[in-house]
Amino acid sequence: MKNIAIFASGNGTNLQAIVDNIACGRLKVRCALVVSDRKDAHALKRARKAGIEALYLDPKAFGSKEAYEKQILLHLKKRKVDFVVLAGFMRILSPVFVKAYKNKILNIHPALLPAFKGGESIKDAFCYGVKLTGVTVHFVDEKVDHGPIIAQVLVEVLDSDSCEDLEARVHQAEHKIYTEAIRRVALGRYVVRGRKVSFLK
């Protein structure tokens, strides 16, 4: 079974969905570690409640971004982590980290990339007046919200939607698609050629 580590800075609803899907056997991976850069991240509490080792590492305690990430890498190595799953981790990973886990770091973004990159994508899509938005799961590369796309799902914007309504449905969609994407990647039957991720039958 593959080992994953989940990195989260915030509430951790995606983390919770993944952990729940592991617990009920829908997702056959082991979550070896949860890492957060925020001491008060609710995600850490969720992890500990589920009996998963949860590690807070303060970026300010390290001399540089690289030193911080090298420390995280040591923790991952120690626990034989195969894949890193970013779930609302509010730090941009440096090339040092990205190279160490090339095409093995997954991120979820609450819009259909390459549209609406950045931290306010649900609001941005809503204000833009799109009729369709969605969720993207992608491998992480050196650029932000950019790496090869693993999976996407559409979310319709209804005329009656408030931004909060849309946000709730996007999050629901995230919770489903992330587990499915991790499941497929953990099976290992895929190839990445340039930007294209193909899953083998």
Residues identified as active-site: 109
Compute the 3-state secondary structure of the chain and give helix, strand, coil in percent, each to the nearest 5. Answer: 35, 25, 40
DSSP codes, 62-103? SSSHHHHHHHHHHHHHHTT--EEEESS--SPPPHHHHHHTTT
Least Å from the CB of residue 28 to ligand GRF: 21
Please state, in angstroms and as integers, the Cα–Cα distance from residue 193 to each residue in 88, 140, 189, 196, following that order: 26, 14, 13, 5
Q: Which residue's CB is nearer to ligand GRF, number 7 or number 101?
A: 7
Single out the residue of 13, 36, 103, 133 in contact with ligand GRF (rule: CB under 6 A). 13
Binding mask 44-83 for ligand GRF (x = CB under 6 A): ----------------------------------------
Residue 87 in contact with ligand GRF, rule: CB under 6 A? yes
Nearest partner of 93 among 85, 34, 31, 19, judged by Cα: 85
Q: Which residue's CB is nearer to ligand GRF, number 29 or number 170?
A: 170
Least Å from the CB of residue 196 to ligand GRF: 22
Residue 174 in contact with ligand GRF, rule: CB under 6 A? yes
Helix or strand run (H / E) with residue 184 = helix 163-187
- Give the footprint of ligand GRF on this chain (CB under 6 A): 8, 10-15, 87-88, 108-110, 174
